[in-house]
């Protein structure tokens, strides 16, 4: 069983470069692929980025490709999302997910979810 806790959200400036973190507790963190998803107001939760268990494979949604970078530190049991050049359309609750077998973009591939962190981008 894994527990995931996101941090790093808040009221952020457009054009800024914040970093989200997802701290995991429990066993087997390093054996799972992990991902970030987000849910904007009035919309379904959607894929942002995913990373394989060893960081060797990453996968990004077209809307964030080139601006966001997903990474992980297995020794620290932490997943990161570096967000650059924030835009108003990035406003959403960001969730980290774990338990995947590969850097999959489907929510159904992940068994464990955090509670989410709100990112609000002001212009």
35-57 pLDDT, tens digit per residue, is 999 999 999 999 999 999 999 99
- pLDDT at residue 52 in the model: 97
Which tens digit of pLDDT belongs to each residue from 58-98?
Answer: 999 999 999 999 999 999 999 999 999 999 999 999 999 99
Query: Is a pLDDT exceeding 80 seen at residue 112?
Result: yes
> Which of 123, 34, 41, 42 has the alpha carbon at shortest distance from 85?
123
Residue 1 has pLDDT above 80, yes or no: no
Neighbours of 57 (CB within 10 A): 12
pLDDT at 103 over 90: yes
Residue listed under structure tokens 């992990």: 34
Separation between Cα atoms, residue 25 and residue 10, nearest integer Å: 23
Please report the sign of the dihedral spanned by the C-alpha atoms of residue 70, residue 33, residue 46, residue 8.
Answer: negative
pLDDT confidence of residue 65: 97
The CA–CA distances, whole Å, from 51 to 83, 88, 91 equal 15, 25, 22
What's residue 123's pLDDT?
Answer: 86
The pLDDT tens digits for 6-34 are 999 999 999 999 999 999 998 688 889 99
How far is it, in rounded angstroms, from Cα 85 to Cα 53?
27
User: Which comes out higher in pLDDT, residue 2 or 54?
Assistant: 54
At 109 the three-state DSSP class reads helix
Q: What is the pLDDT of residue 2?
A: 81
């Amino acid at each position: 069983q894994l527990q995931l806790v996101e941090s790093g959200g808040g009221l952020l400036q457009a054009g800024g470069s914040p970093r989200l973190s997802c701290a995991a507790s429990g066993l087997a963190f390093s054996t799972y692929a992990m991902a970030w998803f987000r849910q904007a107001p009035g919309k379904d939760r959607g894929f942002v980025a995913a990373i394989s268990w060893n960081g060797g494979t990453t996968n990004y949604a077209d809307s964030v490709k080139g601006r966001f970078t997903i990474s992980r530190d297995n020794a620290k049991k932490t997943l990161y999302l570096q967000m650059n050049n924030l835009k108003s359309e990035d406003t959403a609750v960001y969730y980290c997910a774990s338990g995947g077998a590969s850097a999959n973009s489907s929510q159904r591939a992940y068994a464990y979810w955090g509670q989410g962190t709100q990112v609000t981008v002001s212009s």
